[in-house]
């Protein structure tokens, strides 16, 4: 984007300022280029329940719902929302901030009503995207935006797990991924990971044995070993073998990590899979929801030098894949009733037209409603992938 107006581009000016000054600089640029009266950056909290203003700790602004209201609607629908205010001379434009499919939050810009036309809203959307990319970049240099995501303190195990994740979403022309972990502020052993190349997508879902720090350390080792093997360019089964050896070498079979490994061929829709444990996989094709039956193999680290074998299945354009960890398909309600496949199928059917991000969040909401006030006793992971595939004539 090279927004019209004096001086260098928006991207260049945002890149030139210290990490803590991004929001104030964005406000100044919006005033100069669009006549904006005020701007607020809202980031989604770890539980995806509220959007919190980015301010300098210990000062915090009032959060708003990530589900309802103008800002929440912009976040959920991923579309700009123009809010009519009590003052007829001004309007507030709420713009979703998303970086390569990872939803970060919303930029809310108060504008003179006469300036909030469709063309300006479109340019504001480009501005929000540029700001989002800078926020994602400066997270390596500052805690400001990570602190703003918290409604309360994370456990140490949860801090480790969130730092290990690649994000909560990823998008390309061939697919869109939305994922979520719960309990967000005390997650221990669950993890998801992905990596994309010109022709393939590798996706893993891992459930480390135990709870708290012990589970987080185990999962960190398993994910690190899988990444190390993947980056060496070896096949999926051998990735599982090497990670299995790493975990067994550390724990001697006393602790292990259940993992589902998937590798998608972006051109053909052929999926190679290694089912090393308990995460389950469902495929939604049209109105039909079916379990993808894979050969259950040993979790990583359970036995020494386990050999793994790949299986294949096919996805077609329009398919939705949903993977869930034990913490989703295992919990029971206060009356002893299992969450079960039936309830999961109902939620998947009801959310078929929503985005993968919202489907993942809906499964979490349904699970929390099922277990009631007790909360989750085990970590729960939901990864939802919508498959578009690649046109045979298209280039990557």
Inform me whether the pLDDT recorded for 5 exceeds 80.
no
Contact 104, 95 (CB under 8 A): no
**What percent of the chain shows pLDDT beyond 90?**
82
Check residue 314 and give its pLDDT.
97
Check residue 386 and give its pLDDT.
98
Residue with tokens 């540029």: 130
Question: Edge-to-edge strand order for the sheet containing 280-285?
Answer: 169-172, 175-182, 380-387, 320-324, 280-285, 288-291
Which has more confidence, 367 or 184?
184
Check residue 4 and give its pLDDT.
44
Confidence category of residue 6, pLDDT binned at 50, 70, 90: very low
Check residue 3 and give its pLDDT.
45
Mean pLDDT of 190-217: 96
Omega within 30 of 0 (cis) for the link into 183? yes
Mean pLDDT of 329-341: 66
| pLDDT tens digits, one per residue of 219-258 | 999 999 999 999 999 999 999 999 999 999 999 999 999 9
Inform me whether the pLDDT recorded for 1 exceeds 60.
no
Check residue 352 and give its pLDDT.
93
| pLDDT tens digits, one per residue of 101-156 | 999 999 999 999 999 899 999 999 999 999 999 999 999 999 999 999 999 999 99
Q: Of 2-6, 67-71, 212-216, give the lowest mean pLDDT range.
A: 2-6
| Token reading at 312 | 């294949």
Q: What is the pTM of this model?
A: 0.91
Check residue 355 and give its pLDDT.
96
Average pLDDT, the chain: 92
Which has more confidence, 296 or 59?
296
Show the 3-state SS of 310-358. Answer: CEEEECCCCCEEEEECHHHHCCECCCCCECHHHHHHHHHHHCCCCCHHH
| Token reading at 191 | 């993890």
Ramachandran angles phi, psi of 135, nearest 5° = -60, -45
Q: Of 177-181, 347-351, 388-392, give the lowest mean pLDDT range.
A: 388-392
Inform me whether the pLDDT recorded for 396 exceeds 60.
no
Inform me whether the pLDDT recorded for 393 exceeds 50.
no
Check residue 348 and give its pLDDT.
93
């Amino acid at each position: 984007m090279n927004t019209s107006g004096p001086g260098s581009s928006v991207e260049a000016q945002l890149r030139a300022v210290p990490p803590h000054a991004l929001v104030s600089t964005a406000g100044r640029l919006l005033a100069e280029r669009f006549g904006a009266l005020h701007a607020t950056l809202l980031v989604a909290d770890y539980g995806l329940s509220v959007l919190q203003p980015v301010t300098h700790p210990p000062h915090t602004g009032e959060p708003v719902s990530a589900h309802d209201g103008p800002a929440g609607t912009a976040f959920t629908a991923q579309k700009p929302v123009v809010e009519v205010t009590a003052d007829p001379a001004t309007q507030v434009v709420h713009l979703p901030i998303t970086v390569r499919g990872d939803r970060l939050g919303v930029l809310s810009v108060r504008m003179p009503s006469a300036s909030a036309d469709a063309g300006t809203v479109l340019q504001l959307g480009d501005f929000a995207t540029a700001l989002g990319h800078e926020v994602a970049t400066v997270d390596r240099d500052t805690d400001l935006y990570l602190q703003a995501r918290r409604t309360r303190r994370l456990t140490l195990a949860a801090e480790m797990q969130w730092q290990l994740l690649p994000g909560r979403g990823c998008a390309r022309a061939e697919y869109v991924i939305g994922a979520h972990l719960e309990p967000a502020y005390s997650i221990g052993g669950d993890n998801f990971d992905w990596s994309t190349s010109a022709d393939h997508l590798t996706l893993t879902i891992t459930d480390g044995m135990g709870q708290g720090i012990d589970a987080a350390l185990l999962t960190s080792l398993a994910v690190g070993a899988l990444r190390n093997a993947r980056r060496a360019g070896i096949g999926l089964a051998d990735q599982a073998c090497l990670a299995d050896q790493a975990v067994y070498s550390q724990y001697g079979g006393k602790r292990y990590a259940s993992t589902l490994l998937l590798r998608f061929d972006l051109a053909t829709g052929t999926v190679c899979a290694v089912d090393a444990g308990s995460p389950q996989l469902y495929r939604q094709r049209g109105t039909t929801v079916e379990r993808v039956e894979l050969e259950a193999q040993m979790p990583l680290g359970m036995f020494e030098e386990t050999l793994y074998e790949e299986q294949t299945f096919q996805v077609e354009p329009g398919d939705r894949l949903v993977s869930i960890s034990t913490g989703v398909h295992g919990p029971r309600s206060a009356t002893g009733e299992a969450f079960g496949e039936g309830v999961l199928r109902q939620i998947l059917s009801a959310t078929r037209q929503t985005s993968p991000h919202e489907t993942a969040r809906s499964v979490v909401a349904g699970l929390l409603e099922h277990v009631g006030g007790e909360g989750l006793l085990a970590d729960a992971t939901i990864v939802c992938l919508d498959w578009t595939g690649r046109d045979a004539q298209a280039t990557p």
